Structure formats: structure tokens, C-alpha cells
Amino acid sequence: MKKIMYLFCLLLGFSNNIQAKSIELININRDPESIIRRLNFIGPQMAKRIVDYRKTLPDGRFKSLEDFRNMPKIKEIVIKSNKDRIIF
């Protein structure tokens, strides 16, 4: 019984230290340049290019990460470092 109580207390103690890591999601189809700039490796000029480029796409939007990858001058490091933050 003591072992069970010890494990229970131990688990409760550790659960207080566990925190969910929040990730800011960026919608590259809807968000303005100022928000898109929050992505890793995206500066003001690239944010403007993204907004301008999405206007040229069918329906005015990226449909997938692959569409985003096909955008001129987007480097692979941008895709890899932001793939969990970009939503469509």
C-alpha cells in the first residue's frame, strides 16, 4: 500500500511540472504580413511576397505545404522550421 501511495504522490508531483508547449499557428492564406513575419526565417520582404503570391493562386489560397513549397524563393529551411506552425 505504501508503494502505491508513493507512486501516486510521485506522479502528482511530476504532473505539476508538466506544461503544454503552445505553438502559435499562422494561417498563410488569411493572416496579414505582420503576422506572417512571425514565422522563422521570414522577414518583411518575404512576408509581402507570400501575400502577393497567394493572390495569384487559384482561389487565392495555398492548399497545402506543397503549394507553399512551390512558391518562388522559398527555401527548404523555411518549410522545415515552420511546418508545424503553418495552417491553411
Domains assigned to the chain: 21-87 (1.10.150)
Confidence tier at 31 by pLDDT (50, 70, 90): very high
| pLDDT tens-digit map of 36-82 | 999 999 999 999 999 999 999 999 999 999 999 999 999 999 999 99
Q: Which pTM value belongs to this model?
A: 0.74
Q: Count other C-beta atoms under 10 Å from residue 54's C-beta.
A: 19
State how far the Cα of 26 lies from the Cα of 82, in Å rounded to an integer. Answer: 9
Instruction: Give the H or E element holding residue 10.
Output: helix 2-15
